[in-house]
Amino acid sequence: MNKDPIIRVKNLDIGYDRKTIMKNLSFEVQKGDIFIVMGGSGCGKSTLLRTLIGLIPAQNGQIYIQGIEMGRATAAQKLEIMKHSGILYQSGALFSSMTLAENVALPLQQYTNYSQNKIRDIVAFKLALVGLAGFGGYYPSEISGGMRKRAGLARALALDPEIVYFDEPSAGLDPVSSKNLDDLILEINKSLGTTIIVVTHELPSLFAIGKNSIFLDKTIQTISAKGNPKELLKNPPNEQVYEFLTRGASYEKRT
């Protein structure tokens, strides 16, 4: 059995232009993980996600995805890797002028040679997978925020990706919708074996789904903790991690 990580990050510096937000980041994501990137507001979680998926360049260091170093990958290699990756943005990022079915069909039309009948069948299956069977003809404006997130997830899963990235998936959702989305993430991970990277600061979600994690500490501009979120709560490595995972409880008064 191949034990090589599906993602390996080594000595990575991230930021915009000349501003470095996080530095010397090193971590690994194993195949089939639900991997949490956590930390307070403004620590660089979304910046790290955008760097991993190639939307912004790394300032320094290496990112290996499925054994390929992204900084040296050819355009064809990068395209192939991205075809095996899915992304769910905070808002769902659906095209408002397209129905849910048309949104989900788009990557299949762009990156496969499937017939229209096969694409239609795949779209119906992906919508059913996220609990939206029968909603293919609806427009994003006609459904709730939670349903838009699930529709965005159906599109992210259209090409059967090995890795799916989530940027604050619970943002803007009520507690019930947030839990339903967490349950869906767990089910997709279990049934499809999909590796999932989740950027979040929502404690209920990260405790409910997280198998492994890193904590981005903006006071030192790097990772200050790694591991299962529940284990980090039991044995916090520092004050910042403990206060984050307990919503500000006193580190000195812990028992």
- Name residues whose C-beta falls within 8 Å of residue 160's C-beta, 6 or more positions apart in sequence: 192
Answer yes or no: is pLDDT of 2 > 60.
no
- Window from 22-26, 38-42, 154-158 with minimum mean pLDDT: 38-42
Confidence of residue 89 (pLDDT cuts 50, 70, 90): confident
pLDDT tens readout for residues 48-69: 999 999 889 999 999 999 999 9
CA distances from 129 to 45, 132, 156, 167 (A): 28, 7, 12, 20
CB 110 within 8 A of CB 131: no
Q: Dihedral through CA 76, CA 79, CA 83, CA 86, nearest 10?
A: 160
pLDDT of residue 172: 77
pLDDT of residue 242: 92
Confidence of residue 1 (pLDDT cuts 50, 70, 90): very low
Mean confidence (pLDDT) of the chain: 91
- H or E segment and range at residue 216: strand 212-217
The model's pTM: 0.90
CB 235 within 8 A of CB 251: no
pLDDT tens readout for residues 90-123: 766 889 999 999 999 999 999 999 999 999 999 9
Residue 22 has φ and ψ, to the nearest 5°, of: -135, 150
pLDDT tens readout for residues 122-137: 999 999 999 999 999 9
pLDDT of residue 33: 95
pLDDT of residue 248: 63
